[in-house]
Amino acid sequence: MTRNQPHRLSVAPMMDWTDRHCRAFHRVLSRRALLYTEMVTAKAVIHGDRARLLGFDAAEHPVAVQLGGSEPAELAEAARIAADMGYGEVNLNVGCPSDRVRSGCFGAVLMKQPALVADCVAAMIAACPVPVTVKCRIGVDDQDPEEVLPAFLGTMRAAGVRHVIVHARKAWLQGLSPRENREIPPLDHALVLRMKREFPDLEIVVNGGIASQRQVLGFLAQGLDGAMLGRAAYHDPAGVLIGADSAVWGAADPVADAAGAAGAMRPYLLRHLAGGGRLHQVTRHMLGLFAGRPGARAWRRMLSEGASAPGAGIELYDAALAAVAGQAVLHEPGHDSAHGPTRDPARDSAHDPAGAA
C-alpha cells in the first residue's frame, strides 16, 4: 500500500455514532483519514429511504459505506446502489456482536459461515465497480483464532477480496454485551501482524485498542497497511486526528488545534441550522473535542445540557467556545486566576522608570 492510501488511518463504522454530522466533523480534523458510515442493512438500502440512510456530502470523501446482511443477491444490489451514490468502498460487516446484528444473521456470527461470506462478497464484487472489503474479528466463541483467522482470510482472498480490516479480539456471542465485547476479550495484535506476513498480497488493517497516532505509526512501521481507530476518535478526536495528515501522510494539516477545529465547524453548523436542523444533532459528536484540555468540562456541560433545548442556536455554541477560551487563559503560564496575570518584578523594573530609580 502506498503512502497516499487513505486506509493508512481510518475511523471505524460505529452504530449511532458515525453519521453524516460526525463524519463532517472528523473531516475538519483530517482531510486524509478514511471515514465509514454506520452499518446499514442491505434490506434497508434496497427498500428504505436512501437519502436519509446513505446521503452524504462530497466533502466527506474519502468515505466508505458498511453494509450488513447475509443474502448474496440483496448485498449485491445494495452494493451497486451505494457505489452509484458515490461511495468509494463497500465494506461487509462480519465483526459486530450486537444483538440487533445477531438476530439478523449477520455481523460476527458470520465468522462461523465463511463459505456464505465468500458467496456474499463475490456477488458484491460482481455487482459494483468499487472495492469490496470485509471487516471481521479474529474468531468467535470457542473458535481458535490461530486456525480460524488464516482460513477465513484465505477464503476471502479466493472470493476476490483484496482488503480486510481485522478487529484483533474474539467476539463472544453469548454472555457478553456489545460493550463488553469491545473490552473484555484480550487483544491479539501479534496475530494480525502474522497474518500480514502470511498473506502479503492482502491489504490488512488492524482495529481494536488503538488510541494514539503513535500506535498507528507503529503498526505501519511493522508492515500493516493501516490502522483503524474506534472509540478514541469519538472520545478524543483532537488527540488522535489533529496532526494525523502530517504524521501519517506527510501532508498539511487542515487545523492546528481543537479551538481551530471548533471554529472551522461553525459554517457547517450555520448551514445545518439554516436548513432546519437542530444544534445537538451535530454537537453531540463534538463533546470530546477538548478532552484533556482546559475548558473541556465547561464545553461538554454547556453543549450536552443546552444544545438539545428547543431553539438552541449558534449563540450557545459560541458561548461554549468562549468558555473554553476563558479557561485556556486561566491556565496560561504566568497567570494568577485570582488576581490576573502575575508580574515579574525584575522584568517590570527594566521597563519602568520608577522601578529603575
The 10s digit of each residue's pLDDT in 245-257 is: 999 999 999 999 9
Q: What is the C-alpha separation between 298 and 235, in angstroms, rounded?
A: 16
pLDDT in the model for residue 354: 33
Catalytic residues: 96
What is residue 211's predicted lDDT score, i.e. its pLDDT? 96
Q: What is the pLDDT of residue 100?
A: 57
Q: Is the peptide bond before 145 cis (omega within 30 degrees of 0)?
A: no
Quote the cell numbers at residue 10.
Answer: 481510518
Query: Which domains, ranges and CATH numbers included, belong to the chain?
Result: 6-249 (3.20.20.70), 258-332 (1.20.120.1460)
- What pLDDT score was predicted for residue 41? 95
User: First-to-last CA distance in the chain?
Assistant: 70
In this predicted structure, what is the pLDDT of residue 180? 80
Q: Which of 92, 34, 30 is nearest to 62 (CA)?
A: 34
Cα angle: 269, vertex 30, 268; to 5 degrees: 10
Regions in the chain scoring below 70 on pLDDT: 1-3, 98-104, 328-357
Q: Check residue 96 and give its pLDDT.
A: 86
Neighbours of 350 (CB within 10 A): 10
Are the beta carbons of 149 and 157 closer than 8 angstroms? no
93, 202, 269 from 275: Cα distances, Å: 33, 44, 10
Tally of CB atoms within 10 A around 84: 13
Q: Which residues contact 3 (CB under 8 A, 6 or more apart)?
A: 249, 250
C-alpha distances out from residue 282 to 37, 140, 261, 322, Å: 15, 35, 14, 18
Tell me the pLDDT tens digit for each residue of 33-86.
999 999 999 999 999 999 999 999 999 999 999 999 999 999 999 999 999 999
